[in-house]
A and B are shown apart, each in its own frame.
Chain A
Amino acid sequence: MTNWKFRTRAIHIGNERDAQTGAVVPPIHVASTFVQPGAGEWGEFDYSRSGNPTRKNLEQTLASLEGGVGGLAFSSGMAAIHCVTMLFESGDHIVAGSDIYGGAYRLFHKIATRAGVAVSLAPSHDVGQLASAIQPNTKLLWLETPGNPLMSITDLAACAELAKRRGILLGVDNTFATPVLTRPLELGVDIVMHSATKYLAGHSDSLGGALIVRDQELLDRLYFIQNATGAVMSAWDAFLTSRGLKTLELRVREQCRTAERLAKFLAADHRVSRVLYPGLASHAGHAIAQRQMQGGFGAMLSFEVKGDYAKAKRVAESTRLFQLAVSLGAVESLIEQPASMSHASYDAQDRAAHGIVDGLIRLSVGLEAAEDLEQDLDQALSD
């Protein structure tokens, strides 16, 4: 069973036949509480915040796909990151890559700081600068790769070595790469985090987050925080996410193929000044991405349109298939302008310092036919 391939595990691990009824798909356990064998005697499940069979099934699947000892499913990706920050206390310090989701930036700078946890940003792609940002009180290095929205690539194996050497935890938001392409725990990372809202569930119809780790003791500490603070994933969302995982590999590989084609199309287009996609040889992180991402470079890409802010806004607003919305990773293709949408919560000077310019447009490539999406971009650019 453990030597089953990724796709087979995505379908079967955590989805064993229901012992009582034989159901091929495990039931959705909506119960908030569970009847106990006796006073002071506890069954496997007691109360759904502490544990729920449907959520547990999903956590097992995720642990198998990421190669961890266990996982925890949360009500959103932010709840998962928040749980990680609650490992720390006043006086501790976090180093984060600069190319991270706007919400993570906000959580670190506006919420973690309230508990006295300090944060520094350093360029995501530069292991040297990340190393220099580490202080004696640093407890966590937090990265996203590919980064958001610049698709910067961080060398995870090098960072794992750095974190180990400096005795700090390394957490990676693997939302963009998914375990189909990159399994950070195998590279020595301590905590993998997902916004399960994105590729894992994959259909724009569920909010969720996940943490997967390779150390039981760390899992126990995170579980303690999750249970004590309560941001757990609902059984219904756990079911939808499990269902989504069954087609994860098919979706991600197909979406990567289409994204690569669109990146090449845009790179060759005179109306576009710059394309950020790790699959292009011109991308600064291409060589590392080739090593770190297996069989695809992700389905997210950003590009800059020649012309002013108004032109970029017009392009983002005039696609017919791509829909104007934040979020990503689903079957529907989305388009957005990071400066005004996904990264609006960055301070203006941090946005400028990290290259999130107004003319930048970010695409989340869905499952539509590649030629339809290409035609759509072509007509939007001609507008």
Chain B
Amino acid sequence: MMHSHKRGRSPGSSLGSSTVAVHAGEARQKPGDAITDPIFCASTYTFTDTQTVIDYIEQDQPRQEYGRYGNPGERVVEQKLAALEGGEQALLYSSGMAAIVGLLMSKLSAGDEVVFFDECYHRSREFCSKHLARFGVVTHQVRTGDFAAMESAINARTKMLVSESPTNPHLSVIDLECFGALGKKHGVDTLIDATLATPYNIKPLEYGVDFVLHSATKYLGGHNDLLAGVIIGTNENMESVRNLRGVMGAINSPHNMYLLSRGLKTFELRMDRHNANGQAVAEFLEGHSRVEKVYYPGLPSHPQHAIAKQTMKGFGGLVTFLIKDADWRATADVVDAAKLARIAPSLGGVESLIEQPLVMSYYQCTAEERQRFGIPDNMIRMACGIENAADLIDDLQQALEAGQ
């Protein structure tokens, strides 16, 4: 098994990962000799004469043409993310969902099939099961982590296996080695949405996974102030994905690209704190008398703790838990009593956020659907930020007491 995480060193690079985060993708001498890259707002790029246009097209020269095909600031971030992930090429989108859609639309055609593990971000599921179906793509959902079920769902038309790891909001951890191997065995592409782990905690490409995807809105951007998505894979695998992005147009803005690049410079520091805060909060909650159950891969009680411990450097800032003997309203009272964590969807930013999946992402679902998706009424999802851990715990403590 390739479970060696040499702390702070990225594969294929002799530089520490914080050095990579600060410098990768950036020219040492930048335009205007500036220490930071300029923000290119231009929607289009000029050619000196007709011959340069022809040369550009015929020789496939690396230069800018039009904003929908890329931007100099975006290239910097793409190279940074590829380096952090240990992959060849990264491709950015206007949001995580746009990245998922962009990848699936470029790899699937009518008649193709997709198999995915059932615990996932609800919009990813919605896109696969509702929208891909409209284009004649068949989607199979199997129990998260059940590789036998996944394998038996594979047939000659299967083109892609999809999973998150850890999953949202249950934080189940997938054995990536099995996942990658299954794809290889059947000649099927594999995709891991590693938004909740980030390349700081796990690098799925090392396990033979073909594509890694992140909602960069979360930890990568890290400040709850931008939306972005990214896919990383080999140059060969990414070519058609990049081409389709240029056609579909879900490109991010130059301003966001700058903020994302800036956020990545403190990525390692922030992740260290998210991991430490997530662990501390999970341990606190597990010891609290009002808590029925905590879902967190860093706890020995977690069903995949052994594999998580082997493969992950840390377990992230997301902690999901159930309030003992509480109906939806008593659970909501705990959420409402939080003073530091704010009630909002999303995760991965410096500010802690808290939400009750029932009333946030799953409000429109029927009780039967929620049961199928494993969303009980007494579930709370806490996205730990990078505040002081004692302040977060004090806040939860008083919220659990107040909401009683």
Binding site for B on A (CB under 8 A): 1, 4-8, 11-12, 15, 17, 22, 24-25, 203-205, 240, 243, 246-247, 250-251, 254, 320-321, 323, 325, 327, 330-332, 334, 366-372
Contacts and interface: CB of A to CB of B under 8 A. Distances in A.
A22 B344 contact: yes
A334 B22 CA distance: 13
B36 interface: yes
By DSSP majority rule, is chain A's interface helix, strand, loop, or mixed?
loop
Top 4 closest A-B pairs, CB basis? A369-B16, A5-B388, A368-B19, A8-B387
Range of interface residues on chain B?
35 or more
Contacts of B386: 7, 11, 246-247, 250
A264 B16 CA distance: 20
B35 A250 contact: no
Interface string B27-51: 0100000011000000000000000
B353 interface: yes
A204 B34 CA distance: 9
B390 interface: yes
Given A8-B391, A247-B269, A327-B35, 16 more contacts: A1-B339, A5-B387, A5-B388, A12-B351, A22-B344, A204-B36, A205-B36, A240-B262, A250-B269, A250-B270, A321-B23, A330-B35, A367-B265, A367-B268, A367-B269, A369-B18
A7 B342 CA distance: 17
Interface string B291-305: 000000000000000
B266 interface: yes
Contact of A24 (B18, B273, B353): B353
Nearest to B350: A246
A323 B33 CA distance: 11
Contacts of A243: 223, 225, 259, 262
Contacts of A368: 15-16, 18-19, 22-23
A331 B266 CA distance: 8
B287 interface: no
B17 interface: yes
Contacts of A22: 344
Contacts of B224: 24-25
Contacts of B19: 321, 368-369, 372
A12 B270 contact: no
11 contacts: A7-B388, A8-B391, A204-B35, A243-B225, A247-B269, A331-B266, A367-B18, A367-B268, A368-B22, A368-B23, A369-B15
Nearest to B272: A250
Contact of B340 (A12, A24, A332): A12
Interface in B219-263: 223-225, 259, 262
Contacts of B21: 367
A12 to B, nearest CB: 7
A203 B35 CA distance: 10
Contacts of B374: none
B266 A251 contact: yes
A297 B111 CA distance: 64
Given A4-B391, A12-B387, A24-B353, A372 B16 contact: yes
Given A11-B350, A321-B19, A371-B16, A250 B266 contact: yes
Contacts of A327: 35
Given A7-B386, A331-B266, A372-B15, A367 B22 contact: yes
A371 B15 CA distance: 9
B388 A332 contact: no
B199 interface: no
Contacts of B269: 247, 250-251, 254, 367
Contacts of B342: 17, 24
A350 B53 CA distance: 58
B349 interface: yes
A334 to B, nearest CB: 8
A325 B387 contact: no
B145 interface: no
B8 interface: yes
B385 interface: yes
Interface in B195-235: 223-225
Nearest to A204: B35
Contacts of A1: 339
A260 to B, nearest CB: 16
A370 B19 CA distance: 9
Given A8-B340, A246-B350, A372-B15, A331 B22 contact: yes
Contact of A247 (B18, B270, B340, B388): B270
A382 to B, nearest CB: 18
Contacts of A203: 36, 262, 265
Contacts of B273: 250
A369 B391 contact: no
Nearest to A7: B388
Nearest to A255: B269
Contacts of B18: 367-369
Contact of B349 (A24, A320, A334): A24
Interface string B328-356: 00000000000110101010011101000
Contacts of A331: 22, 265-266
